[in-house]
Amino acid sequence: LWPCGTAQALDIYEPDSAYATAPNSPEMGDINAPEVQAKVMNAGAELLSSHPRFANVVVSMAPDGTLRSDLYVNLRRVLTLTGDDGTRAQPIADAVNRAQANGHMRADLITPARRRGSYAIVAGGETLLTVDERLARAGGGRSTSLVLRWLDNMRMAVGGAPFRLAASRGGLFSGTLTGRASWYGPGFNGRRAASGERFNQNSMTAAHKTLPFGTVLLVTNTRNHRSCLVRINDRGPYVKGREIDLSAAAARVLKIDGVGSVRIDILQP
């Protein structure tokens, strides 16, 4: 059932049971202890590895036969992929372990980025994972939401603050703006944006008067503190007093119905 050569890297146990944390954690106890082994085996799961590393993958099977992989970092679960036998999760664990060995798994170095047209999580310049369409489907969400959720989990796994909280404290971005945000969609959907690409109201993009195309922003609604990542691909807004024009999708995430006040953090390129 398991891919050849992966057994030593995987732990198998029953998901969503008493074991909310990784084996060898203080809550779970010594993985080699007879009582822990009994718990795992009685849950109908098989334990394949008793030597966890900094990042580990746990693969489990639901009663209906659906596989699931959980990635643990420093004994904390950071992401779950459904329908995965470890093939997609294990390379992420390997990347995290390499970054740890290189001294890059520090909260201040773990940030979002763009890689090959998709959102990614990097640590000190090392790419930990890229949230492409397949990974987003396995994660059960939109790539821009998943990258922030998984980013927060990774930062907290190494003792740091969630990214959005750290952003409010400064130091992670090349600049910060505040102002009024509006949005646009149906009347422009499918037209050419100023960058040359087709505008898609359901993509997480935005228009700004001066920021370079491709710039990634963390935009936060200052009223409800909801945040999202957007990419600049158009010019505007052209109404006086407005700082940014969001796509319809981004406005929905932030719950901006008309015009709202936002904080805009510019990610380091």
Q: Please calculate the CA angle 27-52-1 and round it to the nearest 5 degrees.
A: 105
Residue-by-residue DSSP string for 34-86? HHHHHHHHHTT-----SS--SEEEEEEE-TTS-EEEEEEETTEEEEEEET-SS
Distance of CA 7 to the CA centre of its chain: 26
Greater pLDDT, 14 or 135: 135
159-201 pLDDT, tens digit each? 998 887 877 676 666 788 999 999 999 889 999 999 999 999 9
Assign residue 53 a region: left if phi > 0, alpha if psi is -120 to 50, beta otherwise? beta
Question: Could you tell me what percent of the chain has a pLDDT over 70?
Answer: 77
Greater pLDDT, 186 or 243: 243
| Rounded alpha-carbon distances, angstroms, from residue 187 to 182, 199, 205, 245, 253 | 14, 10, 16, 14, 20
| Global pTM value | 0.74
Q: Are 69 and 83 in contact (CB under 8 A)?
A: no
pLDDT on residue 47: 41
**Total Cβ atoms within 10 A of residue 84:** 22
